[in-house]
Structure 1
Amino acid sequence: MKITQLCSHPIIQAPMAGGATTPELVAAVSNAGALGSLAGPLLTPLAIIEQAEHIRRLTDKPFAINLFVQTRPQIDYAALESAKQLLQPIWMSLGWNALPTPTRWCEDFDAQLDALLIARPAVASFTFDILHASQIQRLHDAGILVVGTATNLAEAQVWQAMGADAICLQGVEAGGHRGTFIGKQEEATLSAMALLQQVKSHSHVPLILAGGIMHGGDIAEALQAGAQMVQMGTAFLTTDEAAIHPAYKAKLLELASGNSAEGEEATMQTRAFSGRLARGVRNRFMQTMQTVAQQVPAYPIQNALTGSLRAHAAKTNDTELMSMWAGQGAHRVRKMSAAGLIATLITELQQHQST
């Protein structure tokens, strides 16, 4: 079976790590005829299984689970102290005497993959790196379709050669972390449409387009240009079921209200929060760290280091220190239920296709 046959509508709700993709959101999207996705990268193996079970209590429709392909980091404690000093302007502004050293850096990917196989979603999607052929075979043996993330042609070709069932093409407009694993992240600058044009003649698997897709008209353009499906993240952040921080959701709705002059300039890419290039709403943290962002340690070390700062921001409702991941279309978000958004998108899509 192809991924396009799993749901009625050519829409995948993007997996957004950090708690946005609740079982309620995933199930609501799947029940509405699209494909809901659970973000598993920050979940323990047990939590992946439990949340998959929760989703199944809410829907009998197919859904996806996403993981970051990563290895446990080797910690250089001298370099770690230097990294803490790079963050000093932030933690000193809070009146802290020091930045806490994390006790945990990331989840074990192999254990998460084992849990995903137990959870057995219809689709497993991956970003940050590529799977081994043996891992893809295990997923296929379990009846799970594999989707790889690509930000350039070389990555798309490698995923296809390794046996991926579909490829998600992530344009530079997309919110959250860049999926780049071949070449420098800063060099993966193609828009979603430009990337699609570059890849489609080299591909024989379904292509899923991600980046800047907020409206049914955007979906129509993507399908007309050669994509088989679209993946949308930012559009779902302001749905009722998304569990982002209320202040984060309010900030996105403010951008969409017309009271903000920022528009597409409201977001920027930064390494400062996590050590991997990611797009989010501009704030004081990003701007303070901009000059040293290239010096921070790679993901997941920096991500763990900033964890206490982001936790403090959440407790104090301080959006200036939150990682508010969002794409360039953030100023086009809409407040409604997930099912309402899917219905609206399909109506808009059909209107564009009929003109």
Structure 2
Amino acid sequence: MALCLEHPVVVAPMAGGPSTVGLVAAAGAAGAVGFLAAGYRPPSTVAGEVAEVRALGRPYGLNIFVPSSTRPDVAELARYRSALAPEARRYGVDLPPLRLDDTDHFAEKVELAAAAAVPLVSFTFGVPDAATIATLRGAGCTVIVTVTDVAEARRAAAAGADALIAQAGTAGGHSATTTPAGYDPSSTAPELVAAIVAAVRPPVIAAGGTGTAQHVRRALAAGAVAVQAGTAFLLADEAGTRPVHRAAVSDARSGPTVVTRAFTGQPARALPNRFTRTYSAAAPVGYPAIHHLTAPIRAQAAARGDREAVNLWAGTAYADAVAEPAAAILARLGGRR
């Protein structure tokens, strides 16, 4: 299986809007690989986007969420739902009932990826079983699993993954950790890459804290075959980042990022706001139940342009992000190999 990476920088999948067909197409035109984000999207929409990108004739990737294998504590979720009542009143929305079962159409998305022979298929939030990986590999897909520590890397390698994404604690958005209750966000990309490269055989792509060419060089020097960057592309002309999110990333007063479960029940790195300050300590582990619970609040806040209750995902290097075409960002982070 080939990683087909001509450029040292991969454009990360960013679910919830930032990843678009246009962003993936721009990455491909610049000689890099961009990933579509299948998360939160119905299979029909994902299939349409895959068809659009496939027609361009350039390598690309598709990211799929692995369903959680553990059930959350319903009593803790109910307590958190009650705690969010003031936010529902503030934004004039109703909190939905707790939604405990959600596979995000995992089987259907794996099936469509295999049917389309998507060149690169990555997974987040868990290690897919060996049968799933074998099915995709049999269809000609290169399978990549996102891991956050050596133990997860060993599980992914044993399951047959062709490559790994070593996601450090500095990365923006959700951590792919499979142990969210005890997640430690202190790792950097170079140190995590070095540890994983020493432990397993599959090639490793670094992720986390990438905003400059120097960051890219450090990750490559640690043993990575490429660097996956997401936050650096939040302001790209082709990204579908919401205006309120763009404004926050562009604001030098946003301050240091924080890791919080407040919005979704899974540790995620974001810019701080009133919501993170008020609810981070109370939020239990419970992805994606909490994601669905807070969705109406976040949607209404975004519609109002109110950054105080929106999940402003961002990595530690967000201040290096620049509003420019994706091709210019790729050139700034590092040229072709």
Deviation, 1:71, is 4.9
> Residues 150 and 261 (structure 1 numbering): CA distance in 2 closer, same or farther, change over 3 Å?
closer
Which residue identity is paired with 1:268?
A: V
Q: Partner of 1:306: helix, strand, or coil?
A: helix
Structure 2 CA distance for aligned equivalents of residues 261 and 278 of structure 1:
16
Structure 2 CA distance for aligned equivalents of residues 271 and 175 of structure 1:
13
Q: 1:288 aligns with which of 278, 283, 297?
A: 278
Deviation, 1:119, is 3.0
What is the aligned partner in structure 1 of residue 302 from structure 2? 314
Q: Partner of 1:146: helix, strand, or coil?
A: strand
Matches within 5 A, 1:315-334: 315-334=303-322
> Residues 183 and 20 (structure 1 numbering): CA distance in 2 closer, same or farther, change over 3 Å?
closer
> Residues 280 and 227 (structure 1 numbering): CA distance in 2 closer, same or farther, change over 3 Å?
same
Deviation, 1:261, is 7.4
Q: Partner of 2:264: helix, strand, or coil?
A: coil
Structure 1 CA distance for aligned equivalents of residues 85 and 75 of structure 2:
16
Q: Partner of 1:187: helix, strand, or coil?
A: coil
Equivalent pairs, count: 336
Q: 2:207 aligns with which of 165, 187, 210?
A: 210
> Residues 74 and 218 (structure 1 numbering): CA distance in 2 closer, same or farther, change over 3 Å?
closer
Q: Are 2:127 and 1:130 equivalent residues in the alignment?
A: yes
What is the aligned partner in structure 2 of residue 303 from structure 1? 291
Mind listing any 5+ residue stretches in structure 2 that lack a counterpart? none
Which residue identity is paired with 1:310?
A: R
Tell me the C-alpha RMSD between the 2 structures: 2.3
Q: 1:144 aligns with which of 141, 144, 153?
A: 141
What is the aligned partner in structure 1 of residue 247 from structure 2? 250
Q: 2:46 aligns with which of 18, 23, 48?
A: 48
Which residue identity is paired with 2:97?
A: T
Structure 2 CA distance for aligned equivalents of residues 330 and 270 of structure 1:
17
> Residues 94 and 117 (structure 1 numbering): CA distance in 2 closer, same or farther, change over 3 Å?
same
Aligned sequence identity (%): 35
Moved more, 19-28 or 177-186: 177-186
Residue 42 of structure 1 contacts residue 106 of structure 1 at CA under 8 Å; is this kept in 2?
no
Structure 2 CA distance for aligned equivalents of residues 186 and 312 of structure 1:
30
Q: Are 2:319 and 1:335 equivalent residues in the alignment?
A: no
Which residue identity is paired with 1:11?
A: V
Moved more, 195-204 or 15-24: 195-204
CA deviations 1:22-46 (Å, max 9, x no partner) are 0000111111111100010111111
Residue 185 of structure 2 contacts residue 259 of structure 2 at CA under 8 Å; is this kept in 1?
no
Residue 91 of structure 1 contacts residue 99 of structure 1 at CA under 8 Å; is this kept in 2?
yes
CA deviations 1:223-270 (Å, max 9, x no partner) are 112111100000010000110111211211123xxxx373xx1x1010
> Residues 252 and 313 (structure 1 numbering): CA distance in 2 closer, same or farther, change over 3 Å?
same
CA deviations 1:120-167 (Å, max 9, x no partner) are 210000011111111010000000001011111111111111111111
Residue 72 of structure 2 contacts residue 286 of structure 2 at CA under 8 Å; is this kept in 1?
no
Structure 2 CA distance for aligned equivalents of residues 182 and 288 of structure 1:
24
Structure 2 CA distance for aligned equivalents of residues 120 and 228 of structure 1:
23
> Residues 73 and 130 (structure 1 numbering): CA distance in 2 closer, same or farther, change over 3 Å?
closer
Structure 2 CA distance for aligned equivalents of residues 341 and 11 of structure 1:
10
What is the aligned partner in structure 1 of residue 95 from structure 2? 99
Deviation, 1:313, is 1.1
Residue 72 of structure 1 contacts residue 108 of structure 1 at CA under 8 Å; is this kept in 2?
no
Structure 2 CA distance for aligned equivalents of residues 95 and 344 of structure 1:
43
Residue 149 of structure 1 contacts residue 169 of structure 1 at CA under 8 Å; is this kept in 2?
yes
Q: Partner of 2:277: helix, strand, or coil?
A: helix
Which residue identity is paired with 2:133?
A: I
Residue 273 of structure 1 contacts residue 306 of structure 1 at CA under 8 Å; is this kept in 2?
yes
Deviation, 1:278, is 0.4
> Residues 202 and 80 (structure 1 numbering): CA distance in 2 closer, same or farther, change over 3 Å?
closer
Q: 2:183 aligns with which of 162, 186, 203?
A: 186
CA deviations 1:65-118 (Å, max 9, x no partner) are 00110059879877654332021232233355x523378955221122112222
TM-score, length basis structure 2: 0.93
TM-score, length basis structure 1: 0.88
> Residues 180 and 261 (structure 1 numbering): CA distance in 2 closer, same or farther, change over 3 Å?
closer
Residue 170 of structure 2 contacts residue 209 of structure 2 at CA under 8 Å; is this kept in 1?
yes
Q: Are 2:118 and 1:121 equivalent residues in the alignment?
A: yes
Q: Partner of 1:49: helix, strand, or coil?
A: helix
Residue 68 of structure 2 contacts residue 126 of structure 2 at CA under 8 Å; is this kept in 1?
no
